Amino acid sequence: MRKYNSRKRILVTGGAGFLGSHLIDRLLGRGDEVVCVDNLFTGSKRNVEHLFDNPRFEFIRHDVTFPLFIEVDQIYNLACPASPVHYQHDPVQTTKTSVHGAINMLGLAKRVRARIFQASTSEVYGDPSMHPQIEEYWGNVNPIGQRSCYDEGKRCAETLFFDYHRQHGLDIRVARIFNTYGPRMHPNDGRVVSNFIVQALNDEDITLYGDGQQTRSFCFVDDLVEGFLRFMDIPNDEGHQYGFPGPINLGNPCEFTIRQLAELVIRLTGSKSKLVFRPLPLDDPKQRQPDIALAKKMLNWEPRIELEAGLKRTVEYFERELSSAS
């Protein structure tokens, strides 16, 4: 295998998805070779079609619940539906993707001695009793609820990553991703940012659950991908036998209520939408805010793009998408 100071051949699972496609753009932009693997359940070829003529890009349609045999230097494991609408559509398959997918990618990393990144989630903290959430917090998760396929699937994947690290000396990186938004979000994924923008652009009622006072922290995708790259590129000579494995929180610590987000989207779109309220879904977290002190220390990283600036770029993307579809 090539050494880390030369051009890398990098596998990105879930590479045709929202986060994966932005990550691939950055990897190709710095000169790496990228193999994009996606079964296109929630990902889309449209997210990567601008790369098809790039000789350093390769697309493979494949489901990570089945083994994959390929020679690579690094692996970013991003494959898994990440929105409640999608991961609750087939909850058994969601758990399989998190658990079997982790086993298969860890087995591949062990065979080729690749460094491997796991896209974990703030959902491992559940409906947190600690605020903001630090990496040492073990979480408050319902193991048998409607969201458990995703929450517990990701928690089990973290267990597998650290057991492979301890038992086999695998070079791992585990990042816990908080709410992220930006261009290429799926318009029907049920996430709050895409929901509000699509509803506002169509002058439809904007749906809030509960009283709208539950909080979230929103990180623009460019900032998040920068955190991915800095985390993955920590060398193995800084006092850690295998670099810094994590887990590490990656997200924006600026906290907003869901109602504040809705009102900001209405203002940015000039929409005539009205706010309507529905019952709060089961196990929906009331607060979600990362403590990113560890990311600041280890990666010299923190988000730079403020919510209004990022939302403007996201609104422009959805405006183009909706106009092209009409």
Percentage of residues in the chain having pLDDT higher than 70? 94
Sorting pLDDT into bands at 50, 70 and 90, what band is 256?
A: very high
Looking at the whole model, is its pTM more than 0.85?
yes
For the chain, give every domain's residue range: 9-181+220-253+289-304
- Of 262, 202, 197, 251, nearest to 228 by C-alpha is 251
Beta strands (DSSP E) in the chain are 9-13, 33-38, 57-61, 74-77, 115-121, 172-177, 180-181, 206-209, 215-217, 219-220, 248-250, 255-257, 275-278
Asked if the model's pLDDT at residue 2 lies above 80, the reply is: no
Q: Which homologous superfamily does the CATH classification assign to the domain defined by 9-181+220-253+289-304?
A: NAD(P)-binding Rossmann-like Domain (3.40.50.720)
Catalytically active residues, by annotation: 150
pLDDT of residue 237: 60
Identify the residue with better confidence: 173 or 142: 173
Give percent above pLDDT 90 in the chain. 75
